Amino acid sequence: MDIEAIKEAVDWGVMGVLALMGFVALWAYFERLIFFRRVDLRSYRHKEALEIDLTANTTLISSVGANAPYVGLLGTVLGIIITFYLLGQSKQMDAGSIMTSLSLALKATAMGLVVAIPAMLFYNHVVRKIEVLQNRWEILQKDVA
């Protein structure tokens, strides 16, 4: 296999995985917001059942936020390895070409952060909404008793 083909496969593969992770985090976030607007707290008799329903899909959001930087870092490391391989093969690679290759490798880390930071903001927002809804349920239980 040609090294340029490997370079393209790594680039598209890492960016594709990060795009998928971003889509999953965004979907899970909006799914939770829609659920929170429609949830009927009065229909829950047990706190545990409420917690199970409220926390569904939150693990997806936190997993994206926690792991997207590592996927980006993997892309950067692979890009640097490919750059060093090309440097070793050509033996006369100029500084401009090296810097261009390294900067392109670093875009994977940047994209990992672009996916992770909003995912963590989404997760924190969802966790706060869960706390508020659980407290509202507790208040309703006291009013019923």
Check if the beta carbon of residue 41 is closer than 8 Å to that of residue 133.
Answer: yes
CA R_g for the chain: 22
Check if the beta carbon of residue 99 is closer than 8 Å to that of residue 61.
Answer: no
pLDDT average, residue stretch 62-83? 95
Determine the pLDDT at residue 1: 65
How far out from the chain centre does Cα 20 lie? Answer: 9
The single residue listed with the structure tokens 């060093």 is 84
Q: What is the DSSP secondary-structure string of 130-142?
A: HHHHHHHHHHHHH
Whole-number mean pLDDT of the chain? 93
Burial class (CB in 10 A: 0-12, 13-18, 19+), 73: middle
pLDDT in tens, 133-142: 999 999 999 8
pTM of the model: 0.89
